[in-house]
Structure 1
């Protein structure tokens, strides 16, 4: 008697690392597997939960004793797989639910397999027995069913291996169960293709045993290179990759991308010089990369890299010519000295070459000096800026080229830039200066005069004055230079005798000192003055009296303004009037009842559309300081500095912020920072001034230490003094004069700025004194050079 078993199947999702060799669930026709005997297993059609037709096998000969029913699948190629897995879905009826059956009823079945190199099995071969079939396992259900229940589907998975032949058959043995074999799926596990450490590892089937590890060799992804070998991964029995060995990294010109699975080319304008995991970087200064995948950025025209520079370094150029070449001739020898070039080309490896040429004026040509000319320490590759030249020919004209060279000069197709000095040997130094005369003396100064040497033997470049206290000797003598034949020595002791000597200098060097002359300073503090000398003092006193009167008038006007409510223009005319021709009075904006009136009166309102902020260059007490552009109607566009008022300001902060504009708007002087206007009708509130390219004086001096001449430094001091004198003439005290509050433009013009601490002039002897560090800088510069500026300077 055959029992019909319910056909119900559960859906099963194949995992990504499983590969199916056979699955009866997808059969659309009869399976036609081989059954032995024919009265055993029976093929039946049914439907799964999705109402898809399926083919199943059933057997239920439980009332007959000694059952041995076999069912064999079709031939299954193994595809070089070493171990396969069999998933079986089946139902089994509970023996206790079947009445009147002998004790031979079973609830299990056996799984076998048979290997073969071809599909050669028949109805009688191989024999239906355990050998030649290989038993995999006895399969028992987790749940069985009775007639009163629907069938409960069991799922069991078994594996076997290693397989060695072309394919195999599956066989199912029933020994007396009432069951239904709903579906059979044969699959194997594999490790899918993966990328690890920029290496690709191919799809790899698992090993013959569940614990086996299969080695998979790897290859670097495109545009990557090996950094350690061998490249391999291990595929375990569960189809998982593990234990990576070896690695690749992206080649030069390529960077990691897409979660480190690819190497993409550097975009134009970027580069990567070395193999590795690093990212592409922007091209260094003065270089470019016009195409992608660049491992080095090529230098722009006129810029180079030396052979020792790395591809990551910026491109540099050749230096400019050396400066300030000085020659000191002594018959057939000379000493050459010079200063560093103004532009080092962006490099520190600067050195010098000295090229000696002997000139023949009658032929109008110069040629290289003979080998017997000695240039010490050497003439090529000099690190120092001084050489001594000996063994020159007497009464001969020479030309010396001092070349500045750095690490990329050999890359340039042009000759290194140089400075030239022409000398003639046996050129005599000037004769001694005649007697020195004392023209005037005070308690701390002496004014001297002398005649030029009788035989100057050339153009007098300058004079050197040497002086010391008579009772102290020459060991502690002081020197100073003068451009003319007169000078004033300052800082002397009162009533003290001094010994003074003077000598002249030409291109051939210094001449002999004059004979020692003894002079003494005066004992009295202030020498008697003639009425002509007292005239400036009289004029100054009168001016001070006039300033005092002006101040009184201004104070009176301010007090009157506070008491009256007249029109705004009436007070403006009174406060800004010129008391005397050329004398304008400063008005403190804090004397206004409404400080906004001072802003409207002294500062021009600018429409915000005319102002363009480009970048932030600093920060102040009230907000940021920016560089920008100002384009007013009918005027050309100019670069300006813009002070902005930070968000969230109070009324007091806004008043204090704009008070600086009210102050600056009253000044008009080339050494006072110029106010362009204010923006108060929009946000942020701005003060717009002229832009000073070189910034604050203190940082500018530190950045360019040793780069200025005495004349330049004195000119900068003179500009600061002129600005402060203008403020004083306006009856105004700055109260915070310091190098940080002096701005410098591109022409080295110094201008006074930062009027935040300023107030109306008061006679307060307790106020601190502020000085500019330019004075200290100049003093140190002159002491280092051994120079003192003469009176005319």
Structure 2
């Protein structure tokens, strides 16, 4: 993304109602004396004058510059605050240049002070409150932009200041002169508010701004008339400038109503049109064969003879029943009939036509036809046919049948009439017998096979005889014999030869189908050989059983030998196969170990309890207390360490997770990742020992040192964090909880990534490696990428999103991301492409890098190696950090356009050129 494009996006402003100011007091409209209270009487003086348009005004002047030690006070009348929390004061004044006044002492001033005093009523007197800074609250020292000389017309200065929060019924303004020659021309007191507005078909009431310039005041909304809620709650945020931002929830027009008046109202559909569901779509003309004459219709009723199916949507056309099928063709094959037909001439306006076949048997005595018996097979089925073909089997021979082929569609059941159908009358022929079920071998000799079989299940007449076909297996030539009954002896065969045998029955209608081929073998002349053949299955079975026993014994021996080896050695050897390439180590998930003790001893050093001394408790962790202590190991210097304890009464799951974090840390060795010294698993309590970071968590450290670091130091902090994350990413490791609170800082401002409680192994076996968390996993919403929130998919790209939030935390000195917005509102804002604005005095290149990290498409976010490279270039070329953004961190900004009411100052052309050069030199990353 080029800088020109980014600046264009920031200059787009959505059309909204501008902020509204309401005046509490304005002295320029006074027509009589103001009579404000002065002290002393020789100080401020009320005089009449004229403004630029020569309208009379009341002003106050003071010019006691020749007398030293001036302390002149002027107090307004009581000003009711009307429930607002923050007010603004606009001062118009002129000040004479001290250099233009001859012969005056060095006490001449060109400034004055602005104070206020809160009160629950108009109780001030000439002597109360006392004329001094306390009990008055100082707002600011006011200095002119331009002062004037005696012979030159007075130049009017305009200054605006604000103060709050206010809590009492009202307040007084006070002006203190310490020796200036000036004129207070007018004083206007006002407050800002967000005016009544309509967004997403919801009305939001007029709302006063909050107590601070960065405050966000929530205004609840209500749907406009004829609209309904589609997501709740309905609310807008009113920012400190009196501008609406981040709409949450929405309404939409109800069925029968469409958007009107630039999407601020919902008007009813006109007669002849309708809208059947809620939404922002317009009303539609009635579908074919339907009509309506009323306003606000959500459906158009069908005309007579037309219908809608239950599954049809209200915007579907009304349809009718189809005409009968065309051109029915029948084919008779003995007791089977095949029917084919064409689709109806008129489908009724629908494409869901199906067919039903009704079979009726008609007797010869002219009596009415009756439904066919259940034993008639209709293939593929009787009802709901989508294809235009059906086959009927198992019909009776020489019988007349009548078949009705009905065409039905989705509205056939709505019509009071019967479905329309085509009729065909057919008489069946004589059928041949069905196939013989199977053939059995009764006896086998060297030249004879004695066979038997059951008659066919459906002889379809009297069986005249049976034909037996046989041939040697593998030979093409076959022989046949006939039999009058269901048995036969086939003679003249060759000894010890396999034969294939099939049998079929014959009636007056002809032969039926052959039976399934069966293999039978004649016997040999040698009876001993036959005995061996008879015993062969037993011999083979015994040999097989013995082989199984031998194999089982071998397996048991191998398993026993393997169990004697170290379990951790075997498992670690298997896990070494996960290395991507020789010499490149990949993170191993300790939760794949069945025993957590085995994992922690694989990756962490066991420390003797005598080497550890706990000195004081410095915090609390998820599993117990966090302490500072000393570690003195043989041959090493005593070191200050951090000690995590596992609280008493822990569950086995808690112990596993506690040691799991140590097993994770023990695999890392990088200057920007917290270092594990070792563990104590044989003591009570169980301990994890890490290096001690004197300055603690990064977020609280930044808040304690607000504004004390240079931009170069802040970039150095960011570079260290990015380097640690690059190391973890290269090991295929996803952190999942990267935030400033989980970055630790030592005395040299070296930052180290810590807290691996939410982290899990990233499997890179696929082209798109991800970790899918459990449904109950906790997710830090403000730091988490949208795809990780929505689908529980964590990748190095989601860590990059979190790193962008950490950048914002660092540059804003530990401010809370998204301020006091709720988690649901944060998710809604991010989904609507709102992004955090640049913090105050943020270099533009850093905020651009943040926006790169917050790209919605995760594959387009920079890699950590690119982030480290970019920060290195910034550190080498510090001039690129001098162009800062001109916004403050009170508003969100939107990708592709700013928030409603959010105005970002544009850079001039020369600044555009500078920024473009900087970006091309330091940010080779696409958005």
Q: State the TM bucket, normalised to the shorter chain.
A: 0.3 to 0.5
Q: Which has the higher strand share?
A: 1
Task: Name the TM-score, length of structure 2 as normaliser.
Answer: 0.40
Q: Which has the higher helix share?
A: 2
- Larger relative contact order (CA 8 Å, sep ≥ 6): 2
Task: Name the TM-score, length of structure 1 as normaliser.
Answer: 0.47
